[in-house]
Amino acid sequence: MIAEARLRGRNQLTLPDPVVQAGGLAEGERVVVEIDPADPDTVRLHRIRASYAGTLREVYGDPVAALAEERQGWE
C-alpha cells in the first residue's frame, strides 16, 4: 500500500486511516523508524511487538503436547 502521511509540528507523523487499518495498528502502539543511509528517501516503519505469546503456535501446535513431547526426549 502506498499512501501520503504528513509530518506535523513537534515531529508528529499522522498516518492515514487506510494505512492504520491495513497495518492492524492501534492508538498508542510503538513503531521503529528505519532510514537506510544509502537510500534516505525511503522510510520504513516496523511495529514493536508488545508480546510474542502465540506467535509460534503454527510451528509447535498445542503447547502442552509440544512440551510433553520435548520432555520425553530428556529421559
The pLDDT tens digits along the chain (75 residues) read 889 999 999 999 999 999 999 988 999 889 999 999 999 999 999 988 877 777 777 777 888 888 888 899 887
Is 48 within the bounds of a domain? yes
Q: How many domains does the chain have?
A: 1
Cα distance between residue 41 and residue 30, in whole Å: 22
pTM: 0.56
> Which pLDDT score is estimated for 38?
96
Is 1 within the bounds of a domain? no
> Which pLDDT score is estimated for 48?
87
**From the CB of residue 31, how many other CB atoms can be counted at a distance below 10 Å?**
14
Is 47 within the bounds of a domain? yes
Is 50 within the bounds of a domain? yes
Domain extent for 49? 6-72
